[in-house]
Structure 1
Amino acid sequence: MEQKPKVTIVGSINMDLVTITSQLPKVGETLFGDQFQMNPGGKGANQAVAAARLGAHVQLIGCVGSDNFGKELLAHLQNEGVDVSNVEPVTGSTATASITVSGGDNSIIVVPAANHSVTAAFVESKREVIANSDIVILQLEIPLEAVEKAVEIAKENNITVILNPAPIQELSAELISKIDYVTPNEHEQVLLKQNHNEKELIGKLIVTKGSQGVSIIEAGQEIHVPAYKIDAIDTTGAGDAFNGGLAYALVKGFPLREACKYGNAVAALSTTKLGAQSGMPTAEEVATFMNSRE
């Protein structure tokens, strides 16, 4: 039997509180919404579900609160086939994301809560898990010290690292130098360029552009990988779907451009249902979709 790709994700676990409305409220304005949902979320957990549904063996490293949200999220992730043996409950609340969805777009406010308990020391205690991975995915919804420690452990063991730099913050040149792929959206790319010499990012940068696809930035050129056209219902989690698909494809041996194409297909399919995780497709669904678009 073919061995499953071993994907380790160090990251955030949230409960998403989603309001669907015909228009986004202006400052001071009160509107009636059309629908409310509570959905499992957090960039780390979203990427974990994306990779697990594709068939990877996913280890998620993170924290939840001691509240009901924490219990619900752990049960949900286990049901999705994510290994949560390295997710620890801590005193206090689970992280939440308040998301307003209107016309396929969204705005988000995150309260980190238990995600702040993912410290460098916590990550160090998971050294063996990271060291035995095929690939590691990180985001910036956990403390930067934890990201730096995870990258350090991965590089000591020659493991490929993907950093999804969201929400964007200033990163050290040393950290960037140790990362294999950085996957900002267009807004995050602008801020990255303000803080970094472009040479530091050459060969690492994969910019996600929503319905326009992604761009691979290599020395002297930009390689555009177009998106798949699809009727989007909810774009929440599409970037996370791309990152999960990219990681899975890279471990499976896809060349970078083909891995990005695969990630685009995963992202496209993820937008066809409400909720960041509910639309994540299986490998079979992705294969069928890509074959139908050839």
Structure 2
Amino acid sequence: MLDVLAFGSVVIDNVLVVRKFPAVNETVQVDKYRYTYGGAGANVAVAAARLGAKSGIFAVAGSDFKKTNYEKHLEKEGVDRRGLIPADFLMPRSFIVSKESSDDQILYYYENRKGTAKKLFENMELAIRLGNGSQVCHFSTGHFEFYYRLLKGGRLKSVVSFDPGQETFNYPYRVVRIIPYVHMLFMNNHEAKRIKELLKIKSLRQIEGPKLLCVSLGAQGSVILFKGEVYRIPAVRPSRLIDPTGAGDSHRAGFIVALLKGYDVKTAGRIASTVASFTIEAEGAQTSLPTWEKVVRRYEHFFKEKFPQPQTSWEETKRELLS
């Protein structure tokens, strides 16, 4: 059985690091450029594998998946690839303009969005089979109509985690349709505000469906709501600030893996913050992902305490999430 099955995408990221974002009709010098492996689904799967979890990915892999050595990369990282669906069109590309201590600007290119959707729906039964062979199914930026059809039927028996990301603004209706069917919902503060507007609620506590909510606040850390409690988690300081691309994905992976290892929600939040701190130390979402041993050392250094032993069990946390 897999620990984590990540639904999303495999993407070639083109990361451009700048000192300032360009205005309309303005040319800005790029300080650094890097071609890296990305895609929210793959980012989560690789991050979880680095932390010692058995992870897999469910996504459409384009015709250039092998030519770019992405397949060898996932094989090397130990990611289960049974859920990768071959296609005769190119993988998506993202162009990420990154400024230090700031949010990213992202341009996204799909070679064949309709073809991607067709491939996913043709492999619905594979998604159900792999999903039910996993402890946690994590859904990130991808094809939300497919996600909705998959989740609405109640055919997945695993814990469902959802991080809608920028799709909260691009496809808001599709995002709010999925929320009632998930157990853990991740978002940043901008997305949280938009979701409250869409659902016409004043507090995130009014969201129906997910038992656990996590709101990332960038340099201010994160807030986790679970079982009536509010946990405020500080952002762990990285050794250097280079590129925030993928920090949210590694945070989600760190949190899920920590829960699977038997840590309580507060400690899992701290571990997730520690994992995310590594991601922003290099260009690219998967470039500087840590092992569990590295996480332990940085956790102890930042929080000034010995790394704790698991305080509960995954089975207990799972029951609380599914109840």
TM-score by length of 1: 0.90
Matched, 1:57 2:64: no
Report percent identity of matched pairs.
27
- The one-letter code sitting in structure 2 at the alignment partner of 1:213 is G
Matched, 1:112 2:110: yes
Q: How well do the aligned residues superpose, as a CA RMSD in angstroms? A: 2.3
Instruction: Please give the alpha-carbon distance, in whole angstroms, between the structure 2 residues aligned to 1:74 and 1:284.
Output: 26
Q: Residue 108 of structure 2 aligns to a residue in which SS?
A: strand
Q: How far has the Cα of 1:218 moved from its partner?
A: 4.8
Contact 1:15 1:69 in 2 (8 A): no
Q: Residue 126 of structure 1 aligns to a residue in which SS?
A: helix
Matches within 5 A, 1:183-194: 183-194=186-197
Matches within 5 A, 1:1-294: 6-67=3-64, 71-105=68-102, 106-113=104-111, 117-118=116-117, 119-139=120-140, 141-152=141-152, 155-167=154-166, 168=168, 169-171=172-174, 175-196=178-199, 197=201, 198=204, 199-201=206-208, 203-218=211-226, 222-230=230-238, 231-293=240-302, 294=304
Q: In the alignment, which residue of structure 1 is the partner of 2:310?
A: none
Contact 2:34 2:283 in 1 (8 A): no
Q: How far has the Cα of 1:121 moved from its partner?
A: 3.7
Q: Residue 131 of structure 2 aligns to a residue in which SS?
A: helix
Offset from partner CA, 1:253-280 (integer Å, 9 cap, x none): 2111111111111001211122110111
Offset from partner CA, 1:53-81 (integer Å, 9 cap, x none): 00111111101211367642222111211
Instruction: Please give the alpha-carbon distance, in whole angstroms, between the structure 1 residues aligned to 2:217 and 2:50.
Output: 23
Instruction: Please give the alpha-carbon distance, in whole angstroms, between the structure 2 residues aligned to 1:115 and 1:130.
Output: 23
Q: Is the alpha carbon distance of 1:152 and 1:96 closer, same or farther for their aligned partners in structure 2, counting shifts above 3 Å?
A: same
Instruction: Please give the alpha-carbon distance, in whole angstroms, between the structure 1 residues aligned to 2:67 and 2:163.
Output: 24
User: Which is worse superposed, 258-267 or 23-32?
Assistant: 23-32
Q: How far has the Cα of 1:5 moved from its partner?
A: 6.0
Contact 1:164 1:182 in 2 (8 A): yes
- The one-letter code sitting in structure 2 at the alignment partner of 1:215 is V
Q: How far has the Cα of 1:9 moved from its partner?
A: 0.7
Contact 2:18 2:31 in 1 (8 A): yes
Contact 1:14 1:94 in 2 (8 A): yes
Q: Is the alpha carbon distance of 1:114 and 1:7 closer, same or farther for their aligned partners in structure 2, counting shifts above 3 Å?
A: farther
Gaps (5+ residues) in structure 1? none
Instruction: Please give the alpha-carbon distance, in whole angstroms, between the structure 2 residues aligned to 1:68 and 1:174.
Output: 31
Alignment length, in residue pairs?
289
Q: How far has the Cα of 1:128 moved from its partner?
A: 1.3
Q: Residue 6 of structure 2 aligns to a residue in which SS?
A: strand
Instruction: Please give the alpha-carbon distance, in whole angstroms, between the structure 1 residues aligned to 2:94 and 2:67.
Output: 14
Q: Residue 256 of structure 2 aligns to a residue in which SS?
A: helix
Q: Residue 183 of structure 1 aligns to a residue in which SS?
A: strand
Gaps (5+ residues) in structure 2? 305-323
Instruction: Please give the alpha-carbon distance, in whole angstroms, between the structure 1 residues aligned to 2:194 and 2:99.
Output: 26
Q: Is the alpha carbon distance of 1:252 and 1:112 closer, same or farther for their aligned partners in structure 2, counting shifts above 3 Å?
A: farther
Instruction: Please give the alpha-carbon distance, in whole angstroms, between the structure 2 residues aligned to 1:52 and 1:244.
Output: 9
